[in-house]
Chains A and B, each alone.
Chain A
Amino acid sequence: MKNYIDASLLDVLKGKFPTIEYDTEAKEPAVYVPADVLLAFMAFVKTNDKFLFDRLENVTAVDYKTYFEMVYHLFAWNQSPIDAEIERKNEYENMWLTVKVKIDNHDAPAVPSVTSVFPSAEYEEREVYDLMGITFTGHPDLRRILLADDFTGHPLRKDYKEIAPPYTPRVRREGGKIIYE
């Protein structure tokens, strides 16, 4: 990823939210945020004038068999019209930030919805709910989006078993006889 956030800025985040974790050795470390400070963290990086991550580019989740991970990709664009009142300088770079939330409870995963901070996450969170089965608390309209309402199971989970197709008898002819299988 071009222009990943600087280590010095990550230190600022760590100072503000002591419970977040990231790998200081890695080149582009994802920031692991505990679920209880997720909303405060997102609101902070969106509005604080050091960060201004006002574009939530991607929301998704990954099933690691024993736990889930929510993944948010944030982007700060230096010509964003929303913060026009904040004087942006030319040397201000575009920035990327990857935020992750680890959900240890694999049986009933739940995470706060970020729609109150980033309204554009609504459909993407519904998609995650539909295909991965993660519940978003505080989501305005949490329903299945791609699959039918009466569908059971969440196909993108690694332990998902395909539903067997409905039984159709196979018929073949052997000599003069018709054989049903």
Chain B
Amino acid sequence: MNEFETNEQPRTETYVLNMGPQHPSTHGVLRVELELDGERVIKVRPIMGYLHRGIEKLMESRTYFQCSPYTDRLDYISSMNNNYGYCKAVEELCGIEPPPRANYIRAICAELNRLSSHMVYIGSLANDVGAVTGMLYTFRDREDILDIFDLLCGARQTCNYIRIGGVAQDIPAGFDEKVRKFLDRVPDFLKEYSDLLESNEIFQIRLKDVSVMTAQEAMDCGMTGPNLRATGVPFDVRKVDGYGAYPDFDFDVPTGEHGDNWDRYEVRYKEMFESAKIIRQALDGMPEGDYMAKVPKMLRPPKGEVFSRTEGTRGELGFYIVSDGTNKPYRVHIRRPSFVSMQGLNPMCRGGLIGDAIAAFASIDPLMGEVDC
């Protein structure tokens, strides 16, 4: 009997695999340390900061108006939502009430941007699970939204259109028809996506019953937005807080049941219909009047602080601003939904395969510009 013939089990140990920051499926520059046992994931440690620009510190040395373009660069594919969150916080701090027309235009912009952001989500999720064609279809239709933004403010991605007190300018001629023409197409291309993706067996197997989260787990990880709603909790700041023009609109909050990747996809897919519904109601009920409230050229909010939140595309986007009475904020803190949701990666991926970890990253939709701030 030689030394190799023993009854002992072979000695095994876990090993660490670095994924990123240049991995194509990590949505930018996320690095993930995967602790693996064979092909099973034991622990996931997201390591961020590769895109950290110190926006919170930069804002301390800019005036309130100059801060606004920085918020475009947080979550750069839904910049309108970020502008909205920041401007709402400053308005609450100064006691400025935006006119109703501005609120309606803001709602249209925010929902259009939510549509475009969810299109990027569906495209990149499809891409990450192997259906590369998905990206081509969603980006084709996203182009229409970017064209609408181009018409509205001259910029496609970093819009800076929503300003403190209202919006930068009134909606231009031809905007209404263009948006309505786009809205008529929404059910068509959404059906095209579902035909292309949802009936695909590989797509279903990669997403269904994979990376399941319970509602309690999701709340313990601080998840908000579509990721939390996928677990069955109807928490939507647009309904809970009812800010801006949202109480005027009739829309549903889609929720999932199982909290798996499929539900996270499905919730966003259904949300796109709801966004289209909101835009149509806002266009129909658009009030006349000013698009901008009276805002002093030199904005000096009274001493105090505010925490204000809106429903961003990735969850609850909060701005905490401390004013010391000067024209620059003393401290700005941004509660970024993607950053807090990253805590969910570990419970989602634990026990799964490496390939499922990729689908999990894609399904919680992190955006590194927002995670790293």
Query: A residues touching B (Cβ–Cβ < 8 Å)?
Result: 1-2, 54-58, 60, 62-63, 71, 73, 77, 79, 81-82, 94, 98, 119-124, 127, 131, 144-148, 155-156
Contact = CB atoms under 8 A, between A and B. Distances in A.
Interface stretch (B113-121, B144-152, B216-224): B216-224
B335 interface: yes
B203 to A, nearest CB: 29
Contact of A120 (B219, B234, B235, B309): B219
Interface residues of B, number: 36
Contact of A119 (B49, B221, B306, B342): B221
A56 B233 CA distance: 16
Contact of B335 (A57, A81, A131): A57
Interface in B40-60: 48-49, 52, 54, 56-57
A148 B21 CA distance: 14
Contacts, number: 77
Contacts of A1: 306-308
B56 A146 contact: no
Contacts of B233: 81
B52 A146 contact: yes
Contact of A122 (B235, B320, B343): B343
B322 interface: yes
A149 B235 CA distance: 36
A54 B235 CA distance: 13
A2 B241 contact: yes
A2 B219 CA distance: 22
Contacts of A77: 235, 240
Contacts of B241: 2
B240 A57 contact: no
A82 B219 contact: yes
A57 B316 contact: yes
A120 B241 CA distance: 21
A145 B307 contact: no
Contacts of A60: 320, 333, 335
Nearest to A144: B49
B272 to A, nearest CB: 24
B166 interface: no
Interface in B317-351: 318, 320, 322, 330-331, 333, 335, 339-340, 342-343
4 smallest CB-CB distances across A and B, nearest first, come from A120-B222, A146-B49, A60-B333, A119-B220
